[in-house]
Structure 1
């Protein structure tokens, strides 16, 4: 890798000893013994210098947020004063605009009201280790004298669930012991009402393989987890489970939620109590000194640590895996497993995970269960959106389930459109597509779900000259490459490039067509081979992806059909512009999570592509959504993160409603009336008015959040926010009234306007002051007068 991947996650060891003697602990019970030589607690000097280094790193790389876990040993042994000091120093050191996600991971036995009051004051989220019911927990998690820790942990969790502290509860971490009953363990954890459960494979290597009961099958850990998965699914997935959610996400080409799965580059560094900087703690299970880098916070910057060979190796993605892993059909989901679990003396980490068989069975079984579920219902009886989904969407929202249902329906629509296109076209490409569908249907789905696949198919079937049957060959080659299906196919060369949707483009000069071959080593053309999922050389330009906490999206600047939006797309982003986009998206995502969390959850589930647009007229922010490109929005990068957050929320409203309109009629499509849209000077057809109204629900909610955040503040920013809220809520309310009075809505359309009115009510209740109200009314009156004049009305 040529570039340095900055750290955004930090583990800060505040105490190096523990009050329990868990026999599965990787710090004290595995190969590394460095804990015995560390200071018991981090000194003020270590805390100050660590905070300074993190702040320096955030400033250098313009990080929108950093995530810090206070750890140990047992971090509560450091005491309230030292923990408060750490939190205050970290927060003070970060540059303006960089958020701090601060957490503590504890065994819970010392967790008290005093600690929780401190954590509430410092906004520190709390994760607790618990291995299940008392029988399961006491197999390993005991005090040094053999006493059970279970009752103390349950008491701590009861305290954490109290209303004043519930918002601090980050979740439970459970280390798997396959001797325990999986369903009993799961039920014991769910009984503690955690916001998330994280099941962890016990650390092991090829030198010290994981233990299993006598007579267990070849994949005991997969079998244990799959028993939990079956029970969890039957219950309706009542709580997020990180390992299952990560498998589901990576199977769909999204980022993992854990370092132990997926191919996302590792971006974590550990700061020990003496200030030494180390790689991930899990490496302590490999050999003595395995996590060491030789660096410390006093003498070295974090950029120096990021260039350490061990760090680089953990950031090398597919290229850094063993040959056996690279050839595996589930490698993009598995990612080779946790780096530490690949270790074997004499061969280092160049091996599959010691849990390889378990991971393969876990991923393929979850994939097959997920794929098989919809087949139980005949297609003609399938209703993509339930009443609950429709009610959520009517209120302008739509959580992950509702948005996922929209995505599935859109995927089916794209499949039908591509089938119609393929029926008339390139037989070799069509044969390859059907082969991939048989052997790697998930790879084909990833290409069919690409927003501009549908745009190409609609153009082709509609006779638009911008699309040709060469697009079918491009789709087939991209799907085959993703599914590791060997192929040889003739592709068109467009303006000097071979295009592979979702993957990128390959430079081929002087030809109208070129033969592309897919091999185990990558993609080969004219004697030149590139790995499509590696950074590549000057001839290969991959689609770049931005991985944010809980959201991964593509910055699409290669697809020829990205011109589907009303504005011209930008050319390929250079490194500086890519960095600027990455920072802006990170800042916007943090703002959406803070100010519009109810919109952000659906956005993360359904918006997978942002297409950079060429800058608009001076002083004007431009953005667009295309009806035939579900899952994408086009935006010219604005100058501030808040504007980008607002544009993302606004445009994704159009994306959602367009998908709903593909499934349901909300209005009489024969209605030819033109209606007043308070935000535009020109009359609008009913669907245009409906789209604008729906999008502006998010705009009104955004400004309501800003006004509440600035409550009591004076100055231009607060006054501007109040005026924006007064304007957009009035516009939206007026438009809802126009829709209701149109007489052209279907029953479901009326249900949507009722939902929009309910959704707008909180924004209407926020006080903005008389001056803002008067200015908003005056602007609305002026707009209405101009519209009436243009329409010849009085």
Structure 2
């Protein structure tokens, strides 16, 4: 994250004291005791100046919305009159500058109707701290005389739920593994919170939690029990730690500072106007959160340059070596910054003291949710990031694609008129789901469905079947051994069955297709041309020069190939596959698993090699037959990289889609959007690898040419990975993905 990246969350300490004496409080019970020197209550002058600084900051950076949290200590100790003045002083300078999400975190014991009316007037949402049932809550949240706070807190929650539901933001619960997790979850859920925040107890390596040194995972076990119940209950409310894990596993943002690789955008302003870092740092050492800056002398952009702030802004590169190599780092993000501290000179350059717990919890939640066919486990992403993709990863990617095709076709099928074809498809699905998925698996069925989906999305209404939906229904019926007859539209004088072949039906708008005993019969057909297949060992790939939807590549698709040209393809393909299996064995299983179709392209007049992968045609590549089997091997490897990455991007986010900048790609003259650069770089990892291994060829001429190619493409590909790493728009998962690509490249020259 660049230094100028704006802050979007501000914690404003309106009162520095508290009416409870919670023994797990980071504010008063941990290493930092700076609260003792703070003014008891924030003045309206401090608040006004703070708001002016925020207004300047958001205008400079074009920020549309900020989150402002009134905090403490206990903010309600300021009283309703003082709070009214502070909120007014806060809102006035920000009027028109940006939208405000204004909240308060409170222990709730003082919350009454006077406060609620004030907060309703000013749109302040309320989050209340509650650690579970009475037994769990009273373990820590008591008054100084030992009396329970539970009754007053519950009354405050009931007040919000009953009369002020518009103000009720949720519950904050600090984890204690001594409490029964299901009892805590059940107690919290009974209060019908809009959201739950389960907070890790603040510990460091100098004051570790139970299990930190032994590798035990009591906190993961505790949270895992709640996650299981929450998932079984159908996720009845957001639980930030679990939602954050699920988000980061898909490449989305961490929804809490404690998870994910996103750089911090949070800044604290103390009652006296001093800028501070996150409160959690109070657990590290006395003075840890201080910046030495304040709202009267310093603009917010100046705080961004503070070493402590910058240390928490660097994504994957800012973590210690152990964390950078961790398979769950894109979700964990190294854990909360404060929890990494060790007073042995290493400071924060350590894994979290909850490292084992975080890893176990992430794997637990992922294991419970990735059973769904369309959810990709993180090991699939990691495997693909190497550039190869093991067979299990590619199989899971294919399963996810099948699930996506089902969902897409359901939308298109329901909206296509007339409906007999869709009815037949649904019947085939009910009888034989495998046959249904097989019929949908032809790559250009997905390309057609995407095109229809966009037509439906932006068009006036239902669209007529142009023939493909009906032919897919017939192939599914044949595969399921159904006996049916269906009227099928004729397109350009023919009916094409995906992956099977084309029947010529001249001069007719429709034809009846009969399906019986697994066979298709087209009434009135003059001739039939079958889709031919290339064979290499046990691998069979369709060479499809018939599909009317195949012409979606960057180069024109060839027409029906003469038999002699097909035989040239067969010879070259067999030799290319032999080379790929022999010298590029890591790539072969993935190609064998997922490559189903090659579309022959028209060779350009220049004689150059051309190839393409269509983003919405998983399992297919387009290639103009090159001059040698070795080049065909290279083109298959290159384009199949695009196939894999395109399929992955259907289900995970590796970058911010809002980044509309164009980037230099070293292999092209025209600048590329971010996805284009990512796609090109990933494909060139395989190109570089191809030439690197080719340098070891026995033939001197081959090795010499390979060395020249490697010296050209290797530095360009490394440069492109550096551009990606520095773009500031990769998600945490994207950072990890690109870092793995870079390690693959580095291993070529270091032998690692």
**Structure 2 SS opposite 1:455:** coil
Distance 1:235 1:507 in 2: 43
The answer to whether the 8 A contact 1:23-1:140 is kept is yes
Q: Indicate the residue corresponding to 2:23 in structure 1.
A: 23
Change (3 A) 1:120 1:435: farther
What whole-Å deviation, never above 9, does each CA across 1:554-589 have from its counterpart, x for those lacking one? 9xxxxxxxxxxxxxxxxxxxxxxxxxxxxxxxxxxx
Distance 1:11 1:241 in 2: 21
Q: Indicate the residue corresponding to 1:457 in structure 2.
A: 617
Q: Indicate the residue corresponding to 1:631 in structure 2.
A: none
Is the counterpart of residue 202 in structure 1 residue 219 in structure 2?
no
Counterparts of residues 209-220 of structure 1 (less than 5 Å): 209-211=208-210, 218-220=216-218
Aligned-CA RMSD value: 4.8
Is the counterpart of residue 472 in structure 1 residue 640 in structure 2?
yes
Structure with bigger gyration radius: 2
Q: Indicate the residue corresponding to 1:312 in structure 2.
A: 310
Counterparts of residues 222-371 of structure 1 (less than 5 Å): 222-345=220-343, 346-371=345-370
Q: Indicate the residue corresponding to 2:157 in structure 1.
A: 157
Q: Indicate the residue corresponding to 1:98 in structure 2.
A: 98
What whole-Å deviation, never above 9, does each CA across 1:197-243 have from its counterpart, x for those lacking one? 11111000000101469x99800000000000111111111111110
Give 1:123 shift.
0.3
Distance 2:188 2:438 in 1: 37
Change (3 A) 1:191 1:416: farther
Give 1:75 shift.
0.4
Distance 1:323 1:504 in 2: 25
Is the counterpart of residue 45 in structure 1 residue 45 in structure 2?
yes
Q: Using structure 1 for the length normalisation, give the TM-score.
A: 0.56
Give 1:79 shift.
1.1
Q: Tell me, which stretches of 5 or more residues in structure 2 are unaligned?
A: 376-398, 416-436, 447-498, 500-533, 542-575, 593-611, 626-631, 655-664, 693-709, 736-752
The answer to whether the 8 A contact 1:11-1:270 is kept is yes
Q: Indicate the residue corresponding to 1:110 in structure 2.
A: 110
Q: How many residues align?
A: 502
Give 1:137 shift.
0.3
Q: Indicate the residue corresponding to 1:171 in structure 2.
A: 170
**Structure 1 SS opposite 2:370:** helix
**Structure 1 SS opposite 2:81:** helix
Q: Indicate the residue corresponding to 2:77 in structure 1.
A: 77
Distance 2:686 2:130 in 1: 62
Q: Tell me, which stretches of 5 or more residues in structure 1 are unaligned?
A: 395-410, 439-451, 485-490, 555-794
Change (3 A) 1:453 1:286: farther
Distance 2:351 2:717 in 1: 25
Q: Indicate the residue corresponding to 1:545 in structure 2.
A: 729
**Structure 2 SS opposite 1:77:** helix
Distance 1:202 1:331 in 2: 20
Distance 1:159 1:552 in 2: 42
The answer to whether the 8 A contact 2:443-2:620 is kept is no
Counterparts of residues 558-707 of structure 1 (less than 5 Å): none
Q: Indicate the residue corresponding to 1:604 in structure 2.
A: none
**Structure 1 SS opposite 2:162:** coil
The answer to whether the 8 A contact 1:197-1:242 is kept is yes
The answer to whether the 8 A contact 2:685-2:717 is kept is no
Change (3 A) 1:497 1:477: farther
Give 1:89 shift.
2.3
The answer to whether the 8 A contact 1:433-1:480 is kept is no
The answer to whether the 8 A contact 2:613-2:642 is kept is no
Counterparts of residues 751-770 of structure 1 (less than 5 Å): none
Give 1:307 shift.
1.1
**Structure 2 SS opposite 1:366:** helix
The answer to whether the 8 A contact 2:253-2:262 is kept is yes
**Structure 1 SS opposite 2:86:** helix
The answer to whether the 8 A contact 2:59-2:97 is kept is no
Give 1:504 shift.
2.5
Distance 2:44 2:55 in 1: 16
- Partner residue of 2:714 out of 516, 523, 526: 526
Give 1:94 shift.
1.8
What whole-Å deviation, never above 9, does each CA across 1:326-376 have from its counterpart, x for those lacking one? 001111011000000000012100000000000001111211221224599
Is the counterpart of residue 5 in structure 1 residue 2 in structure 2?
no
The answer to whether the 8 A contact 1:17-1:74 is kept is yes
Distance 2:79 2:303 in 1: 29
Q: Using structure 2 for the length normalisation, give the TM-score.
A: 0.58
Give 1:479 shift.
9.7
**Structure 2 SS opposite 1:172:** strand
**Structure 1 SS opposite 2:42:** coil
What whole-Å deviation, never above 9, does each CA across 1:742-789 have from its counterpart, x for those lacking one? xxxxxxxxxxxxxxxxxxxxxxxxxxxxxxxxxxxxxxxxxxxxxxxx
Give 1:3 shift.
3.6
What whole-Å deviation, never above 9, does each CA across 1:592-649 have from its counterpart, x for those lacking one? xxxxxxxxxxxxxxxxxxxxxxxxxxxxxxxxxxxxxxxxxxxxxxxxxxxxxxxxxx
Distance 2:215 2:325 in 1: 25
